[in-house]
Structure 1
Amino acid sequence: MYDLLQLRAEVFVVEQDCVYQDVDGKDKNAWHVLAYKDKTLVAYTRIFKAGDYFKEASIGRVVVAKNQRQHKYGYQIMEASIKAINEQFNETTIKISAQCYLKNFYNQLGFKETGEEYLEDGIPHMAMIKH
């Protein structure tokens, strides 16, 4: 738990210069998908069954360590998260709240934007769905 909270703080609070309450109480209901390289956490997501966060199953807190992004671990952790939702929750529709600058990344994984952009913790986001 310490590893994932540290990585989330490094990226979402320090790197993105965003003061917000990362420990939001939702981790208790999430399944945590972690990717380690040489005993160091390099990528992470949390996934939810339908109804636990959104009406649909969802993936959130997608993060890759800054010094590991050149290895494309974001695609691997997202593919593992999508597979886990399909296999563990028997769900195929997945909703995310994506930072807008990552729209193309999520499009490549099959997510399509839905609705208007909105601010979440001062950062432009958009809802995206994968069927």
Structure 2
Amino acid sequence: MVTIGRATVRDADPAVLYRILRLRTQVFVHEQRIVDEEEIDGRDLEDTTTLFWVEENGEVLATLRLLQDDVPAHVGRVATAQQARGRGLAADLVRAALDHAGTDVAISAQAYLEGWYGRFGFVRTGENYLEAGMDHVPMLFTRP
């Protein structure tokens, strides 16, 4: 059974937190080769950060984090395990994060995903730029 979880680092089960960080490392460090930025950057520890994840049979298959230290809030670290891609799990998490945020939400999207984030109502707010050596685009979801 697939479930969506949500917690701060302080409230997260340590085993789930480990699986979230392992998945992010797998996707961002090993697959995408992002090595010029710290994956574990300290932002997860902030009281205003909420982690979201999809779990199935004890495995974390997708995750993202919502930073709410400012308005707009910010979605980031969206990652899905290779074997779980194409199932709509990340989409479920994006919708959950948008519902939870209760405010406008920004994202620094990898440029090739601009259309995908557009499905949720995110719109481009500026020019492309490089982040972690990859083409990104700033986007904003405006709460109706």
TM-score (norm. length: structure 2): 0.82
Instruction: Give per-residue Cα distances to partners, 1:58-114, cap 9 Å, x unaligned.
Output: 11101111110121111111111111112xxxx2x1111000011111001110011
Which residue is equivalent to 2:101? 85
Counterpart among 22, 31, 38 of residue 21 in structure 1: 38
Q: Write 1 or 2 for the structure with the bigger share of helix.
A: 1
Partner of 2:108: 97
2:134 paired residue among 101, 106, 123? 123
- 2:64 corresponds to 1:12: no
Residue equivalent to 1:59: 75
Q: How many residues align?
A: 123
Deviation at 1:18, TM superposition (A): 1.7
Identical aligned pairs, as a percentage?
33
> How does the TM-score come out when normalised to structure 1?
0.89
Query: For the aligned residues, what is the CA RMSD?
Result: 1.0
Gaps of at least 5 residues in structure 1 are none
The gaps in structure 2 that reach 5 residues or longer are: 1-16
